[in-house]
Amino acid sequence: MKNILEAPFMVETVRTLTNLYRLGWDERNGGNLSVLLDEDVVAEYLDTGKVIREIPMTFDASSIIGKIFLVTGTGKYFKNVQYDPAYNLGIIKIGKSGKVAELLWGYTDGGRPTSELPAHLLSHITRLAIDPSHRVVMHTHPTNTIAMSLVHSLSERDFTRTLWQMQTESIVVFPEGVAVLPWMVCGTNEIGEATAEKLKEQRLCVWAAHGIYGVGRDLDEAFGLIETVEKAAQLYMLSVNAGIKNGITDSQLKDLAAVFGLNYNKDYLD
Ligand code: 13P
Ligand code: ZN
């Protein structure tokens, strides 16, 4: 068996979590991440039939039985992951009932997957049905995105339009727009189901006064989506009190969409 700490999926995940902490988005145990792994790849590092222990789940994941995920542990700090990946992360396989996670590696202190496992696994199920290449669900607490959710209309159209108006890249990176959920109790099946439903149409979902979810085919895509929202939200927060005079207009956004061939959400421009 090869050393799992040197597996490219592990190295990239640890680097990503370290970077998220460095950005100041994941205070304390804030944020969580799950990456769908290819069983053939995992088998180079682990006996995928050897279950360390079973962890019950409160929702039905029967459509992804047998799938294997690298998942951050609940209560674990992103800042510490690089120093002890096996303590802070786990590799789980969805067990036969679809209601249990079989631990294959990690959570060495007896820990468990993130409390947001419903949002992660239900979002994986949703995105895999849309795109078989989907792999990553990322949840983080970017400062300006949360700040914007405190002062801005939470209408998805209004929120997306403002993000698009702040910088050229926004509509290019997320032409479908950004979903927004009003404040809800986190860590529940309810918020997990609501998030997964939102991610049918978009790859980004803001949780008001909490954070954001982004999904992608790889870590870079999920991170890049969130990073672009956060940059636009920062521009908004920096300029809103001075009065925004030169935001990108609808007609300019349409020109941009035409040149870049963007399949943008037509309901969001006048
Ligand atoms: P976990 O520590 O359970 O992952 O929770 C952190 C968080 O961000 C909750 O939304
Ligand atoms: Zn959170």
Residues 47, 50, 54, 59, Cα dihedral to 10°: 50
Ligand 1: lining residues by beta carbon, under 6 Å? 29-32, 72, 74-75, 114-116, 186-187
The predicted pLDDT at position 126 comes to 98
Number of Cβ within 10 Å of residue 202's Cβ equals 21
Q: Locate the DSSP E strands across the chain.
A: 32-37, 53-56, 68-72, 89-94, 100-106, 136-140, 179-181, 204-207, 211-216
The predicted pLDDT at position 190 comes to 98
Last residue of a domain, one of 86, 115, 144: 115
Residue 15 to residues 43, 66, 219, Cα–Cα distance (Å): 22, 27, 10
pTM for the model: 0.98
Q: Is 116 a catalytic residue?
A: yes
Residue in 34, 87, 109, 115 to alter for ligand 1 test, most ligand atoms within 8 A of Cβ? 115
The predicted pLDDT at position 193 comes to 98
Domain containing 205 equals: 116-270
In this structure, are 97 and 221 located in the same domain? no
Residue 148 to residues 6, 178, 194, 234, 243, Cα–Cα distance (Å): 39, 13, 21, 8, 15
Averaged over successive runs of 10 residues, the pLDDT of the chain (270 residues) comes to 98 98 98 99 98 97 98 98 99 97 98 98 98 98 99 98 99 99 98 98 99 99 99 99 98 98 98
Ligand nearest to the CA of 211: 2
In this structure, are 194 and 262 located in the same domain? yes
Last residue of a domain, one of 98, 115, 132: 115
The predicted pLDDT at position 8 comes to 98
Among the listed residues 6, 44, 116, 221, the single catalytic one is: 116
In this structure, are 170 and 186 located in the same domain? yes
The contacts of residue 37 (CB under 8 Å, 6+ apart) are 9, 68, 69, 70, 91
C-alpha triplet 77, 20, 199: angle, nearest 5°: 100
CATH classification of the domain holding 65? 3.40.225.10
In this structure, are 139 and 219 located in the same domain? yes
In this structure, are 172 and 257 located in the same domain? yes
Ligand 2 mean position, distance from CA 176 (Å): 23
How many Cα atoms within 13 Å fall on the side-chain side of residue 2? 13
What is the tally of structural domains in the chain?
2
The predicted pLDDT at position 17 comes to 99
Please report the atom of ligand 1 found closest to the CA of residue 26: 8
Last residue of a domain, one of 115, 142, 158: 115
